Amino acid sequence: MDRYPLIIGGQSVETEETITVRFPYTGEIYAQVCAAGPAELDNAVSAACQGFESTRRLSSGKRAAILQRLADRINERAGELADVLVMEGGKTRKFATAEVARAEVTVRTSAEEAKRIYGEVIPLDWSDDTGGRTGYLQRFPLGPVLGIVPFNFPLNLACHKLAPAIAAGNSIILKPASATPVSAIILGEMALEAGVPAEAVSIVPCGGEMAEQLARDPRVAYLSFTGSCTVGWHLRSIAGRKKVGLELGGNAAVVVHEDANLGYAATRIAAGGFINAGQVCISVQRVLVHRPVYEEALQMILSAIKALRVGDPRDPATDVGPMIDSKKAEEAYQKVQEAVRQGARVLTGGTRKDGMFAPTVLTDTTPAMRVNCEEVFAPVISVVPYDDFDEAIRNVNTGEFGLQAGIFTQNICRVLRAFEEMGVGGVIVNDIPTFRVDQMPYGGEKGSGTGREGPRYAIEEMSALRLMVINRAGGKE
């Protein structure tokens, strides 16, 4: 069993208090990680303030070079990192390997975007009394960035916070999830090896209540949080005047109209509903099928789901592994049982053993059931028919979430209408709402958050737009 120290201002720091990391499939102890207390968190912010004096002076070329070296190290240690993701998070081998590859892309994209932080020139001589004046816009680094990372993508989402922060010229404090802190610590080590100024990097695993100290600290310039709605909006309420970006939950819907490619849609829905045991903010949760093709599509979806292999995430053939812990699995199980008591039917699955939750399909659900109106965050989907497209759009828009939605159709007018009327951050056409590539803007509307991730867009969030006005009439030639 390995033991990992904190990283505070580039230095390894041991603490008496530790966090026990368990392999979700068996419950065995995988690692011990030092836990930050109030003093360590205060030191991390102090170091970040000092580190910012170095990072903000780095040229765009140097920032890009540092991030390219970090991406190289992720590539070199890809096998090791995939092993860590399997053991700390219960992620299947194939999905862990994909996350490492995505993390490399995220960092390389951030390196490229570090060289594309453009400004703007604005003519201000629109009237006689403003003649000779020109405005110049430029983005400047904000300061220390606090990134709070969830358990479901502990490496790639850490990269989505660290890499744009460095690209923008900021320092970074990462607070990983207590269940999955090892990958973030290794990322911090690699960032230092790649040349990020030492004081500009801190990795501080700690409990959620401890993280509030960081969120309240006025020295932190930007808070980037990915996680639950309850925690995210609470942190925003205590964050003071700092900028805040929130990537929160969802109950993602996908609409399958009668003109869809049903076979392709069924295969994609099976992937999108059960990848990472359904523990994805944009996991398919609600499937709305046009009634004329409902029975045919339902059978195709069930067939695709029953073909998924469930079991040990260490097995390269496994498609669906365990949930992060038995408590989360029990919470999802209770939501399914509640739906059944309210009239829903289980078509497959609906059972659990410890952290293993069988891929589950429900039907005869209503929008008010918690399996629809709340984020289940488990391998559970609901498949229901609709009669007309207006009804489908109303169903998509029901509730407090608005992260992403998918629509399968061949009709461009229907596509454009969905784009205009679905209250979500992203509409994915002829694919599932679970689709995300790391260079696209990603974020939600309504209760699903504020701001956007994706390196280019995160850099904008993590920088300040500053205006300079030059009055030529006041100068001398």
Catalytic residue numbers read: 247, 281
Contact assessment for residue 154 and residue 184, using Cβ atoms and an 8 Å cutoff: yes
- What is the arrangement of strands in the sheet containing 360-363, beginning at the earlier edge strand? 345-348, 360-363, 380-386, 286-290, 253-256, 404-408, 426-429
Q: Which helix (H) or strand (E) holds 229?
A: helix 229-238
Going by their DSSP bridges, the two strands 253-256 and 286-290 should be labelled as: parallel
At 298, is the secondary structure helix, strand, or coil?
Answer: helix
Beta strands of 275-386 (E only): which ranges?
A: 286-290, 345-348, 352-353, 356-357, 360-363, 380-386
Residue type, 235: L
Please report how many Cα atoms fall inside a 13 Å half-sphere around the Cα of residue 246, on the Cβ side. Answer: 27
Q: Is 446 left (phi over 0), alpha (psi -120 to 50) or beta?
A: left
Q: Rounded to 5 degrees, what are φ and ψ at 300?
A: -65, -40
Rounded to 5 degrees, what are φ and ψ at 228?
-75, 155
Handedness of CA 124, 130, 131, 134 (dihedral sign): negative
Alpha carbon distance 182, 178 (integer Å): 9
| Cα–Cα distance for residue pair 363/462, rounded to 1 Å | 43
